[in-house]
Amino acid sequence: MIHMQGITKIYEDNGALALDNISVDIEAGEFVFIVGASGSGKSTFIRLLFREVLPTDGTLIVNGVDVPGLKKNEVPAFRRTLGVIFQDYRLLPDKTVYENVAFAMQVIEAPRRLIQRSVNNVLDVVGLQEKYKAFPSQLSGGEQQRVAIARAIVNRPSLVIADEPTGNLDPETSWDIMDIFHRINSSGTTIVMATHDKHIVDTMRRRVIAIEDGKIVRDEARGVYGYEV
């Protein structure tokens, strides 16, 4: 699913070495936590995966696609195979829950009837079918993040990447979110999630890739967070 070989990322504007010669493979269907201290390079790792940034050096294959080698006009098709989730939800404030999710399908010109069916379906998955008319400002943080998840999975991506999706949420709400991720993963979707949440990582016992100063320092199949917080 993901093949990284000798990936280095130096941000050109300030010369920061965010990732230093990283090599890693992630198989289809895996659930992977990326952990590490602030500034270690987790977000950079995530951003490389959906081509928000390009690596300075190295090979990166996602879903069989040579990501750095993509031409500009091939990027949209590639991104349609991914779902992306952020810490700050990134919902559109003047669109309802339903419209926020449907938006992801409209902009790739999905047929209208398919949109209706799929949106209702994913709102069901994240447990928000009753609030489909609400605006983001009328929702709690956890509910907003569930909308963002619904939007990320509505186009049935084979890979979902999330950058600290529970970073703004209290522990209980975080578990609701993890429960949804768990269900998505059980249906075969690969999940890569950067996180600071020791409790979640230690409880779920999934694969843990630890990054320190841009290098992978640990990669365990049923790992723990490994740092004191």
207 binds ligand ATP (CB under 6 A): no
Strands (E), the chain: 2-10, 17-26, 31-35, 57-62, 65-66, 82-85, 159-163, 190-194, 207-212, 215-220
227 binds ligand ATP (CB under 6 A): no
Figure out which of the listed residues 43, 96, 118, 166 binds Mg ion, where binding follows CB under 5 A.
43
Q: Which parts of 105-144 interact with Mg ion (CB under 5 A)? A: none
Nearer CB in complex with other proteins: 55/83: 83
- Structure-token pair, residue 156: 């049935």
Strands 82-85 and 207-212: unpaired
Q: Which does 84 bind (CB under 5 to 8 A by kind): ligand ATP, Mg ion, other proteins, none?
A: other proteins
51 binds ligand ATP (CB under 6 A): no
Please classify residue 213 by burial: count the beta carbons closer than 10 Å to its beta carbon, then call 0-12 exposed, 13-18 middle and 19+ buried: middle
Nearer CB in complex with ligand ATP: 152/211: 211
Q: Which parts of 176-215 interact with Mg ion (CB under 5 A)? A: none
Figure out which of the listed residues 41, 55, 136, 223 binds ligand ATP, where binding follows CB under 6 A.
41
